[in-house]
Amino acid sequence: EAQVTQNPRYLITVTGKKLTVTCSQNMNHEYMSWYRQDPGLGLRQIYYSMNVEVTDKGDVPEGYKVSRKEKRNFPLILESPSPNQTSLYFCASSQMWDLAYEQYFGPGTRLTVT
């Protein structure tokens, strides 16, 4: 089954404690992306990657890091989480070479930073 998986689904942590949210896709998509969803703001792109070792900032990259060492995986790293990073996070993947390809989304990770 074609899918994007994220782990963990729920995470409560404390300020400053480094964490990683994993994302994996099995569709051989070149393009992967991270979003955060906040009430009233919709989804905002954090980082995206067009292929292995190729990443770029989205609209809200501050406080986040990513890496793309393998095509299928695109982890999101919060080196020193703060309460304003409490949010719902989505990973997504897509074919890259055609505008018509929609993004496939993971199930989301609800992060709370206290």
Interface with other proteins by CB under 8 A: which residues? 31, 33, 35, 40-45, 48, 50, 56, 58-59, 88, 90, 92, 96, 99-100, 102-105, 107-108
The answer for residues whose C-beta is within 8 angstroms of residue 47's C-beta and 6 or more apart is: 33, 34, 55, 56, 57, 58, 61, 64, 66, 76
Distance, C-alpha 73 to centroid of its chain = 10
- Nearer to other proteins by Cβ, of 38 and 79: the residue is 38
What's the closest the beta carbon of residue 59 comes to other proteins, in angstroms?
Answer: 8
What's the closest the beta carbon of residue 96 comes to other proteins, in angstroms?
Answer: 6
- Nearer to other proteins by Cβ, of 56 and 79: the residue is 56
| End-to-end CA separation in angstroms for the chain | 36
